[in-house]
Amino acid sequence: MKLSPLAKLSLPREARLRLGPQYNAVREHGISAYGPFFRLACLKRETETTQLGIIVSKRVGPAVTRNKTKRRFREIYRNQRSHLQQNIWLVLIAAPKAATASFQELEQEWLRLGKKLSVFIALC
């Protein structure tokens, strides 16, 4: 089966958190960093790959806005996956301001909070 060019750009299933207990574990036992556009929580795992879960509540806006916000966050994560440490779970919780932020602002905030939580690989 031949994959379309867009399929290569998608986020694989194993790169996403999918279960409620996973989200709860990160929120309860992980460390968090806050910014104006979102909260980023991180939990170190033993034998898991790096995975991200995104929470966008109805306070952010209607469904179209929430979905656009989630797509932006997934794209930022997809672009930065190779720079992240292995074996961590991340949960990103969007704030209402995320809906009106530009992609560049969200990306800068991701980098700032990621450095604060030390989730990036240290490049020598």
The CATH code of the domain at 13-117 is 3.30.230.10
Question: What residue has token string 């809906």?
Answer: 99
The confidence score (pLDDT) of residue 124 equals 39
**All residues at 6 or more sequence positions from 39 whose CB lies less than 8 Å from its CB, including other chains:** 32, 33, 92, 93, 95
| Tens digit of each residue's pLDDT (9 = 90 or more) over 83-92 | 998 889 999 9
Confirm whether pTM is higher than 0.85.
Answer: yes
The confidence score (pLDDT) of residue 121 equals 85
Three-state SS at 52: strand
Rg (Cα) of the chain, in Å, rounded? 14
- Amino acid identity of 50? T
pLDDT at 117 over 60: yes
pLDDT over 70 percentage in the chain: 89
